[in-house]
Chain A
Amino acid sequence: MDRRKSLQTLILGGAAASTGLVFNSCKTENGETIDEVIATSSENYFGRTPKELERIEKLNAEQLFNEHEMETIAALSVVILPPKEPHGGPIEAGVPDLVEFMGKDIPEMAPTLLGGLMWLDHKSNTDFETEFKSATLEQKKQICDEICWHDIEIPLSEQPLEIQFFYMMRGLTVTGYYTSKVGIADLGYKGNSPNVWDGVPQDVLDQHGVAYDPVWIAKCVDQSQRNVTAEWDEKGNLLT
């Protein structure tokens, strides 16, 4: 499939997927109807302009890391953030693919990543006569232990490549995990979904030692009236 055609598919696929856009009227506990829009669009489709999509297509057609390097990235990522039940780890989160994409999307990252991967194998071969990905977990940890701490008083850019590399890989691994489906579940983030905000739960207020001021709260929205059209008196007092 040529690039233009596949781009077309992506756009049409998205438009077709848009028929899956569901406008729900969902009933809340006290029975009022709230507006709710839930997008169930295709996985390849996320509101890009044609020009933005074209660039993503172009990057996807390029290859930054070879197969061995991708395996090394995967091997390092699970040392950095070991998988843990029930929410998996970097592999389930797609971290290697993110590293590949970002290395192309922000080309300034590529030399550090490519150079760092070479350094890992060189170090592993020198110390253990095996490539990093084939080393034992203990051996991998020995290598990482040497590069995972850095002097925070010195700018990172003035530190050795392997330190910069590890810092970058740790960043990509953790951000990649916590921006994935499994990572968001592990974090416990409950947002990005339609709801009705009615304040911080009492147990959370208690835990943090704060309370709502009744005078303040009296001015706030009464969510049971949210669908009643607003009306005011001439002084600006809300009547509904």
Chain B
Amino acid sequence: MQIKESLEIYDVIIVGSGAGGGMATKQLADAGLNVAVVEAGPFFDPADPVTMTQLKQPYDSPRRGAGVDRAFGEWDMSWGDWKVDGEPYTHTEGTEFKWWRSRMLGGRTNHWGRISLRFGPKDFKGKTRDGHGDDWPIGYEDVKPYYDKLDKLIGVFGTNEGRENDPDGFFLPPPKPRLHELFYINGAKKSNIPVIPGRLSMLTKRINEDRGVCFYCGQCNRSCSVYADFSAGSCLIFPAQKSGGKVKIFVNSMVREVTTNAEGKATGVSYISKEDRKEYKLKAKVVVLAASACSSARILLNSKSKQHPNGLGNSSNIVGKYLHDSTGASAAGVIPGLMNRKTSYNEDGIGGMHVYSPWWGDNSKLNFPRGYHIEVWGGMGQPNYGFGSDPNAMNKYFGLKTGGYGDSLRDDVKKYYGSVIGFGGRGEGLARKDNYCEIDPTTVDQFGIPVLKFNYKWSEFEKNQAKHMQDTFEEIIHNMGGHYLGDKPGKDNDYGLHKPGEIIHEVGTTRMGDDPKTSVTNKFQQLHNVDNVFIVDAGVFVSQADKNCTWTIMALSWRASDYIIEQFKAQNL
């Protein structure tokens, strides 16, 4: 079969359309460059009623919202989850990693939690701070101008609190706390744990005429049809097209490799069209990878040539190494003070927490080096499959019998409705060279592309941190007068520490650095080995923080895009 080549030479090919790819598309197209966006999944627009799940009722579906065909529930706006049909991944025996992929325009930004936290000054200088890991080649002051612009372009609510490592920004006003959040504030305060308004990218106030304002359905994970939450398609790619940018989108196009010429420079990409299962080539002066940390590493490792026998940009052997996800542990409690609630009002609120706790601890006095933040959930949410299915299971905490049948089940359901508060600890795990993804030489996906094999183990630091999370959750639950639900996980199950990958904040596989021997890109996210290939996803992170990664992905992608534009102007590309 002859590979079909396009005649057009684009200025830039961007592989992937999520947070990093979306931002690069917006910046590069706005600068007048001719851009091709290559996305592995189909087109998606949150406003399209054909695919919309926002405001659906549970009874619109025969399975009432059960998560049978989508892992996070039937309404979750992610096409693809831990598994993607025909696209496996494998593991080194005895290690674990779970990998979430969303195959659609906008990628995982269509369903994400929109928690939008800047990294702080300490987060870029981990080694200086405590001797673990490495420092980034850049600091907060390099990224701050981009965070500032990002806040204004995309919109994020929050408050300026003057906290050292949780920087202030340009915030929209936050929503008022819900009832269970008031209980949380009081409970956390008793343990001297700070609570501040959440910081999430939903529009509580208008920022422009192209996007609507939040109407408080609490369903941001379904992707907002009036664009009141941030998704990369609706907030970056569509606006880039609307303002006249040259943006050509190739959907259902699975990139196999970056193609190179005799000098070893990139010439474009080859991809497989899912529509006819044929291979195509696109040409460009610059290739920007934004396929997600692991997918971009996979593309680089699969891009082998005479000039790049170890894969593209991999003379250091670092591609795929230092893979790390946020840590996570969860708990929930039933709070008697929240029982027997009035249902007289709608408290869906925004699709996430109105309040949260940034990290407060002093790690020099703890047996783990990095912190975590606490996310809070609860309230009188929409019933979906599973709601009330064990209607009086919580009776056991109050010395009452569980089970039975009859009219009393209605009373049980109402008694407990809205009485549970849940916690998610999300922390920093250390970046380690021996946690990595590599190419599995024996396995290919349905397009014949070799797949990733993961090798990842938590260390005692992450387990100790999870123990701290559990103890903290239990203490706050008791402060609120509640009961810890279920058995508190202990040492035998790593204190409930989620498996690597499960928090879906995987970063670090193509880390930036000044030394080409120990890093994949320079501080402008340009491959050390090939000057016309850039990476704008979370692969370039040197280390996580006790923050979510998306806001930093976008700030860095914007910064790298500015550099690409400068280099074009200087005729270096």
Chain A interface residues (CB < 8 Å from chain B): 11, 14-15, 17-18, 21, 34-39, 41, 43, 45-49, 52, 55-56, 59-60, 79-82, 84, 94, 97-98, 101-102, 105-106, 144, 148-150, 152, 167, 170-172, 174-181, 183-184, 186-201, 203-205, 207-213, 216-217, 219-222, 225-230, 232, 236-238, 240
Contact = CB atoms under 8 A, between A and B. Distances in A.
A221 B205 contact: yes
A175 B386 contact: yes
Contacts of A236: 148, 160, 168-171
Contacts of A175: 64, 383, 385-389
B67 to A, nearest CB: 10
B348 interface: yes
Interface string B197-238: 100000011111000110111110000011010000000000
Contact of B53 (A46, A195, A220): A46
Given A178-B383, A195-B216, A217 B176 contact: yes
B66 interface: yes
Contacts of A201: 344-345
Interface string B523-561: 000000000000000000000000000000000000000
B54 A39 contact: yes
B35 to A, nearest CB: 27
8 contacts: A102-B66, A144-B405, A149-B404, A152-B402, A184-B57, A197-B346, A212-B182, A222-B173
Query: Which of B179, B185, B383, B384 neighbours the largest number of chain A CB atoms within 10 Å of its CB?
Result: B383
A52 to B, nearest CB: 5
Query: Considering the complex of A and B, which 6 residue pairs feature the smallest CB-CB distances, nearest first?
Result: A188-B343, A171-B389, A35-B212, A18-B49, A199-B176, A179-B58
Interface stretch (B128-136, B278-286, B334-342): B334-342
B179 A204 contact: yes
Interface in B368-393: 380-391, 393
Contact of B216 (A59, A194, A228): A194
Contact of B59 (A14, A52, A94): A94
A102 B386 CA distance: 12
A120 B315 CA distance: 69
A227 B213 contact: yes
B75 interface: yes
A198 B219 CA distance: 17
Contact of B389 (A172, A192, A219): A172
Contacts of A39: 49, 52, 54-56
Contacts of B390: 171
Contact of B51 (A49, A81, A189, A238): A49
A213 B181 CA distance: 12
Contacts of A225: 205
Contacts of B245: none
Nearest to B69: A52
A181 B212 CA distance: 29
Contacts of B343: 187-190
Contacts of B160: 236-237
A208 B338 contact: yes
Interface residues of B, number: 99
A190 B74 CA distance: 21
Nearest to A172: B389
A187 B414 contact: yes
Contacts of A171: 389-390
Contacts of A55: 69
A15 B204 CA distance: 31
Nearest to B64: A179
B398 to A, nearest CB: 13
Contact of A179 (B53, B383, B409): B383
A26 B209 CA distance: 17
Interface of B: 49-66, 68-69, 74-75, 79, 148, 152, 155, 157, 159-160, 168-179, 182-183, 185-186, 197, 204-208, 212-213, 215-219, 225-226, 228, 337-338, 341-350, 380-391, 393, 396, 401-407, 409-410, 413-414, 417
B289 to A, nearest CB: 27
Contacts of B409: 80-81, 170, 174
A178 B388 contact: yes
Given A178-B388, A229-B207, A200 B405 contact: no
B56 A195 contact: no
A139 B161 CA distance: 65
Majority-rule SS of B interface residues: loop
A174 B215 contact: no
B39 to A, nearest CB: 15
A13 B65 CA distance: 21
B145 to A, nearest CB: 12
Contacts of B205: 221, 225-230, 240
Contacts of B50: 11, 14-15, 18, 47
A220 B176 contact: yes
B182 A56 contact: no
Nearest to B404: A148
A186 B407 CA distance: 12
Contacts of A191: 217-218, 346-348, 380-382
A11 B350 CA distance: 31
A169 to B, nearest CB: 9
A230 B172 contact: yes
Given A81-B407, A105-B66, 11 more contacts: A37-B55, A39-B56, A59-B62, A80-B405, A144-B405, A149-B402, A190-B344, A192-B348, A193-B55, A221-B157, A236-B171
A34 B342 contact: no
B383 to A, nearest CB: 5
A60 B62 CA distance: 9
Given A149-B401, A195-B346, A174 B388 contact: yes
A187 B348 CA distance: 15
Nearest to A225: B205
A81 B409 CA distance: 7
A178 B403 contact: no
A221 B172 contact: yes
Contacts of A102: 63, 66
Contacts of A183: 383
Contacts of A84: 407, 410
Nearest to B57: A192
Contacts of B176: 197-200, 212, 217, 220-221
A41 B172 CA distance: 33
B152 A232 contact: yes
A210 B174 contact: no
A196 B347 CA distance: 10
B401 A46 contact: no
